[in-house]
Amino acid sequence: MTAKRVGWSGVFTAMVTPFRSDGSLNLSGVDSHVETLVKDGVAGLVVAGSTGEFYSLTNEERLQLFQQVKRVSAGRLTLVYGTSALTLQDTIALTKSAKQIGADGCMVLPPMYCLPTGKETVAYFSKVAEIGLPIMLYNNPARTGFNVPPALAAELANIEQIVAYKESARDLYAVAETYYLTRDRWQHFAGLEPYGSALMSRGASGLVSTISNVCTREVVEYHRAYQAGDSTTVSRMETVIDKIYHLVPSSGLSTFAFVKAAMLALGRPAGVPRLPHLPADAGKVASIRSALEKIYAEANLPLPSAASKEVVPA
């Protein structure tokens, strides 16, 4: 057994990227959102990941975002920056910049669209690893079209710079096999909150959470209660998390547009999504607000608090 390479654990919010109604990046909204997440107790942030709409950001905007989050977080959080790009050259350039800015790590998907072989995937990550920034490998086959099978994960675990693994696949048998093959070297994170208990029961150290942009306190309490063996609180928080997820398909919105609409419904800093995503109209935001009020009333919990600063205008 070799030692794990980092001690990352807890809830890492895959934070949204606030945009203004004209589509421009809103850096003051970034400040407000980071402060809100700190207040609600997250351990880390994943910046410019899928929830952060990295695919709609220019490289220059990503660097602005990296720098702003580094400045406002002021050493209070573990910072993992999403540096995936369509080309290896851009991934390397973004990862080098993330290291220079002072990120704790980077999150990288396998090569997108090109459907690489296992050997090609190892070669790709080996090149990114040469930069010397700790890597969180992100497996999200639903979005990339490529799944990291357990045998390939075990091979990738031999790359010293890969220190953590975010799992967003839904095949629990394969997920468990990957965990057992790599648990001595990687910190594992659930990338889908409804699978959190299944992964944490196998030793995963935390969650990289999309829905914690909305219900931060509940996701943080969910993780804390699990670690404390408080099954009653785990069940209570899990029910809230699951029910909020169940609102996504009924909302008619894409996942990340829903997250921003739910945040706006609660007065939390979100802004609007960028095309190809479409923002929710006022009526949709109001209906999401009503649904959230019902979920929290049934759980006998107060609604999540609004932002600590001015909310980003939609």
pLDDT (tens digit, 9 = 90+) per residue, 8-64? 999 999 999 999 999 999 999 999 999 999 999 999 999 999 999 999 999 999 999
Task: Please check the confidence at residue 122 and state whether its pLDDT lies above 80.
Answer: yes
The catalytically annotated residue of 9, 32, 165, 166 is 166
Rounded CA-CA distance 37/216 in Å is 7
Helix (H, G, I), strand (E, B) or coil at 80: strand
- Token digits for 265? 């419904």
Has 245 been annotated as catalytic? no
In 75-218, beta strands by DSSP E: 78-82, 105-108, 135-139, 162-167, 187-190, 206-209
**232 burial class (0-12, 13-18, 19+ CB within 10 angstroms)?**
exposed
Query: What is the C-alpha separation between 117 and 256, in angstroms, rounded?
Result: 30
Cβ pair 251, 258 in contact under 8 A: yes
Active site residue 138: yes
What confidence category does residue 305 fall into, taking pLDDT thresholds of 50, 70 and 90? confident
Residue 24 has φ and ψ, to the nearest 5°, of -80, 155
Q: Is residue 166 annotated as part of the catalytic site, yes or no? A: yes
The residue annotated as part of the active site, out of 138, 165, 179, 195, is: 138
pLDDT at residue number 306: 76
Q: What is the mean pLDDT of residues 113-133?
A: 97
Buried b (16+ CB within 10 A) or exposed e, 263-274: bbbbebbbbbbb
DSSP 108-139: EPSPPSS---HHHHHHHHHHHHTT---EEEEE
Task: Retrieve residue 13's tokens.
Answer: 């919010």
**Length of the chain, in residues:** 314
CA-based radius of gyration for the chain: 18
Q: Residues 209-251: pLDDT tens digits?
A: 999 999 999 999 999 999 999 999 999 999 999 999 999 999 9
Quick: pLDDT tens for 255-277: 999 999 999 999 998 899 999 99
Q: Each residue of 154-198: pLDDT tens digit?
A: 999 999 999 999 999 999 999 999 999 999 999 999 999 989 999
pTM: 0.95
Q: What is the pLDDT of residue 12?
A: 98
CA 56 to chain centre: 16
Residue 310 has pLDDT above 70, yes or no: no
Q: Which of 32, 50, 97, 209 is catalytic?
A: 50
The SS3 assignment for 100 reads: helix
